């Protein structure tokens, strides 16, 4: 079916409106989709979900659009396609309920044909409800956060997401491909249709096939097609070669006792991206993409986009994936739900493997208002919609049916459910392996077994009675790859028990990558590692913390779990604070460390907090040392400060103001192999580190003491926007001294104003503890930095951003972006 975005000019209203009169009484707010109705609401200390939701709370709202359906479409089909609506969505057409969708992450369609008036405007209202709190372990956002499309096609048409092309074999410079095309006939007569598939590389047809099929009245028929592609360009993360699949369906005519051709034959078309790619996994050769071994350098991602809230736009997803790839990642896990189609497209185009996940909860709840309330009645349709949408995309190499599912020990008929879900995925797509992120038994046991088990979340399992192995083995039936969350110490033991099991480190503590990654590289049956997390996110606030305590501090007795959110993330904690990148896209120290572990020859220089010397470091389980690239420590002159350097070299030499402080070998053992620490008596000036191997300097890093804030520097990531209402430009705001150095401790009140053909879509910082409104025009710089995000409108022209800051006197900087 033909697909067109209808994201412009929806009326957004808060609350529930049950009639045209109620809608008319509330003028609402004009918004463009995608839109998050939660991100601009005030946070509050008494939010029902507390730190889970970053102290945001939910509510009811609706979106309304008057949609003209052309008169010439009469007799055709009209469908609404929604990539995700958060949550419990109800769709109305002209006042009549026509569809519901409970799961906020699953794509869905609603056939409008029988209720719309052709040749007139039709009222489309979509209600959403996030008021049942808590409903998630992280920030969900609210509303039509992934956009809406209108699909239109004749009575014989291609079903939405009805194109599935896969690679059967690649040999002798030829790819053997299969296609399954779902064609629907909504007429009351049997029809014959010609299905034509063309595979384009750029603008050239690289392969073509066609066949005629018979369609029973009021039914859907699958066209099965096999064809070959000579000299294929293969897709993998290093070579993301893409083809465009274009399918047309021509309604040839009716069939009763013989074929009667129609004088006027309708044609429906649809397109999708495709890459020629095979994927296999076994315990001997590991994961192989196109026959070549691959280790997954993975990161878990939640669905929000930081300052944008849950809004998903291609420009935001592309930027995120591009930065992760530049940092060494080759894979992402869509934790713990179906991602947006925009993220999948970005991974296709840039070359990023995707571990595509369906659910965080099945029938047993993790939060009182979560998907468990709907799972029994809706899991199959939601899982089916998710797999059908993503199965042609080459970036998707692995499916996940769930994460840390409480049914993993067999409760709630969990063993049978696990097999059913895997079987459903395999029926829809037999070309990819299936997994599930399984964790230790900190939950999931009955009362009798739980009495003798450690209830701490994600503790290592290594019992002599092999309780975990025995208890989860039936749950793994149907899985091709078993995901191990935080259980690296079981890899070799479990290989002896299950020698044919393929293992994936589906979730891992970020600070442990240095001594865990060599294990992944050494063991062929372990195919990769996914850190929690690659990119910081809203909610689950403060699972990553680092504190420095004096001897005898009572918090030391509580240990790492004493820093977890339920104990130590009071209002206004907002982000998880556990990632390689902050929510604005700044690389954090743990991301720099991971780069070194994965082979970056560079050197990274950081400093522990002033005043922490001699104290005991306490990290939450997802924490990382609280280090920063900061040599501004006024008041600590002459006092000891701890410095850490990340490097793959043999040695590191440290200098302060040209004087050598010391030269040390780089540590190769726990807790942070690939690092070296120095004690330095602080003096302002220039701190330099050099990596040395074989007596030669191979890389350098430096930190310099900055002066007082003197100005604002704006750095835009691109100079043009597309006038499509979706494009974004990110503009980094830095507080600098007179020499242009970032002032790392600057907290300056900033104000933003925008004019022209765009608007301010997000304004804020990576500060994990804040009550700021990212949709507001004010923010306070955090560690000398802030971010403004401009979103294009639908008209060409210019958009101008002006940033003002109070630095002694008002300082102002402006950038202008062209919108085409």
Q: What is the pLDDT of residues 172-217, one digit of tens each?
A: 999 999 999 999 999 999 999 999 999 999 999 999 999 999 999 9
What confidence score (pLDDT) does residue 788 get?
98
Calculate mean pLDDT across residues 457-484: 88
Query: According to the model, what pLDDT value does residue 451 have?
Result: 85
**Inter-CA distances, 682 with 250, 273, 690, Å:** 77, 56, 19
pLDDT of residue 191: 98
Which residue do the tokens 């220089």 mark?
Answer: 605
**Confidence category of residue 458, pLDDT binned at 50, 70, 90:** low
Taking 90 as the threshold, does the pLDDT of residue 468 lie above it?
yes
Say how many residues make up the chain. Answer: 820
Whole-number percent of the chain with pLDDT over 70: 99
The overall average pLDDT reported for the chain is: 97
Residue 124 buriedness (CB in 10 A; 0-12 / 13-18 / 19+): buried
Q: What is the pLDDT of residue 454?
A: 73
Per-residue model confidence (pLDDT) at position 453: 76
Q: What is the pLDDT of residue 808?
A: 83
Q: How confident is the model at residue 520 (pLDDT cuts 50, 70, 90)?
A: very high
Q: pLDDT digits over 407-452, tens only?
A: 999 999 999 999 999 999 999 999 999 999 999 999 999 999 988 7
Q: What is the C-alpha to C-alpha distance for residues 213 and 194, in angstroms, rounded to an integer? A: 6
Structure confidence at residue 464 (pLDDT): 78
Q: 3-state class of 495 per DSSP?
A: helix
In this prediction, residue 91 carries a pLDDT of 98
Give the tens place of pLDDT for each residue, 79-128: 999 999 999 999 999 999 999 999 999 999 999 999 999 999 999 999 99
136, 539 Cβ separation under 8 angstroms: yes
Beta-carbon contacts of residue 717 (< 8 Å; ≥ 6 apart): 319, 729, 730, 731, 732
Residue-wise pLDDT tens digits, 312-353: 999 999 999 999 999 999 999 999 999 999 999 999 999 999
**Lowest-confidence range among 454-468, 477-491, 541-555?**
454-468
**pLDDT at residue number 459:** 63
- In the prediction, which pLDDT does 790 show? 98
Nearest to 326 by CA among 578, 543, 103, 600: 600
Q: In whole angstroms, give the CA distance from residue 87 to residue 95.
A: 20
Q: For residues 592 and 133, what is the distance between their CA atoms, to the nearest angstrom? A: 37
């Amino acid at each position: 079916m033909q697909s067109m975005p209808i994201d412009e000019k929806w009326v957004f209203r808060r609350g529930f409106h049950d009639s045209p009169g109620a809608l008319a009484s509330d003028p609402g707010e004009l918004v463009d989709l995608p839109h998050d109705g939660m991100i601009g609401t005030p946070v509050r200390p008494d939010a029902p979900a507390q730190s889970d939701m970053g102290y945001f709370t939910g509510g009811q709202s609706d979106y309304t659009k008057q949609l003209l359906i052309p008169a010439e479409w009469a007799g055709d089909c009209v469908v609404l396609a929604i990539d995700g609506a958060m949550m419990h969505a109800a769709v109305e057409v002209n006042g009549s309920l026509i569809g519901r969708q409970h799961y906020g992450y699953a794509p869905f369609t609603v056939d409008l044909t029988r209720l719309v008036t052709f040749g007139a405007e039709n009222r489309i209202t979509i209600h959403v409800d996030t008021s049942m709190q808590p409903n998630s372990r992280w920030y969900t956002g609210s509303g039509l956060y992934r956009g809406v499309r209108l699909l239109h096609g004749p009575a014989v048409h291609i079903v939405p997401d009805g194109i599935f092309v896969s690679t059967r074999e690649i040999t002798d410079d030829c790819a053997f491909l299969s296609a399954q095309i779902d064609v629907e006939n909504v007429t009351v007569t049997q029809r014959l249709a010609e299905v034509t598939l063309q595979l384009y590389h750029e603008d050239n047809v690289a392969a073509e096939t066609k066949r005629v099929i018979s369609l029973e009245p009021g039914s859907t028929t699958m066209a099965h097609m096999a064809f070959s592609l000579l000299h294929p360009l293969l897709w993998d993360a290093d070579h993301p070669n893409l083809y465009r699949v274009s399918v047309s369906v021509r309604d040839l005519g009716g069939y009763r006792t013989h074929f009667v051709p129609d004088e006027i034959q309708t044609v429906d078309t649809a397109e999708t991206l495709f890459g020629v790619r095979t994927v296999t996994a076994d315990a001997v050769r590991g994961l192989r993409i196109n026959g070549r071994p691959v280790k997954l350098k993975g990161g878990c991602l939640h669905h929000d986009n930081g300052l944008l809230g849950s809004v998903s736009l291609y420009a935001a997803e592309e930027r995120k994936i591009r930065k992760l790839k530049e940092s060494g990642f080759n894979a992402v896990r869509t934790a713990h739900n179906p991602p947006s189609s925009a993220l999948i497209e970005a991974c296709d185009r840039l070359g990023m493997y995707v571990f595509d996940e369906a659910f965080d909860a099945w029938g047993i709840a993790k939060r009182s208002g979560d998907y468990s309330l709907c799972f029994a009645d809706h899991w199959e349709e939601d899982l089916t919609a998710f797999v059908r949408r993503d199965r042609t995309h080459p970036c998707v190499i692995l499916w996940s049916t769930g994460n840390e599912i409480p049914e993993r020990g067999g409760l709630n008929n969990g063993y049978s459910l696990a097999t059913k879900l895997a079987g459903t995925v395999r029926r829809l797509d037999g070309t990819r392996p299936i997994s599930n992120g399984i964790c230790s038994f900190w939950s999931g046991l009955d009362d009798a077994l739980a009495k003798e088990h450690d209830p701490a979340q994600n503790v290592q399992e290594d019992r002599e009675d092999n309780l975990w192995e025995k208890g989860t083995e039936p749950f793994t039936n149907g899985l091709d790859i078993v995901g191990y969350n935080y259980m690296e110490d079981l890899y070799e033991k479990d290989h002896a028990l299950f020698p044919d099991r393929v293992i994936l480190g589906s979730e891992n503590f970020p600070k442990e990558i240095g001594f865990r990654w060599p294990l992944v590289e050494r063991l062929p049956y372990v195919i990769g590692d996914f850190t929690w997390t690659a990119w910081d996110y809203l909610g689950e606030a403060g699972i990553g913390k680092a504190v420095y305590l004096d001897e005898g501090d009572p918090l030391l007795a509580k240990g790492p779990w004493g820093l977890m959110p339920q104990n130590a993330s009071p209002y206004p904690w907002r982000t998880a604070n556990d990632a390689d990148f902050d929510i604005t896209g700044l690389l954090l120290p743990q991301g720099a460390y991971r780069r070194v572990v994965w082979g970056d020859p560079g050197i990274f220089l950081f400093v522990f907090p002033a005043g922490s010397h001699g104290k005991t470091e306490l990290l939450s389980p997802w924490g990382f040392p609280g280090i920063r690239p900061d040599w501004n420590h006024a008041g600590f002159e002459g006092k000891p400060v701890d410095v850490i350097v990340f490097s793959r070299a043999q040695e590191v030499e440290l200098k302060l103001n040209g004087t050598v402080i010391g030269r040390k070998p780089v540590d190769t053992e726990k807790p942070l192999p690939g690092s070296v620490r120095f004690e330095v008596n602080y003096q302002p000036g220039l701190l330099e580190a050099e990596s040395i191997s074989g007596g030669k300097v191979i890389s350098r890093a430096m930190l310099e003491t900055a002066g007082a804030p003197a100005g604002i520097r704006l750095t835009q990531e691109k100079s043009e926007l597309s006038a499509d209402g979706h494009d974004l430009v990110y503009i980094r705001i830095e507080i600098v001294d007179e020499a242009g150095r970032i002032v790392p401790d600057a907290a300056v009140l900033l104000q933003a104003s925008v004019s022209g053909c765009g608007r301010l879509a997000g304004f804020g910082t990576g500060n994990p503890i804040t009550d700021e409104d990212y949709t507001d025009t004010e923010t306070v710089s955090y560690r000398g930095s802030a971010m403004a995000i401009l979103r294009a409108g639908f008209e060409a022209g210019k958009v101008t951003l002006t940033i003002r800051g109070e630095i002694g006197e008002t300082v102002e900087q402006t950038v202008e972006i062209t919108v085409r």
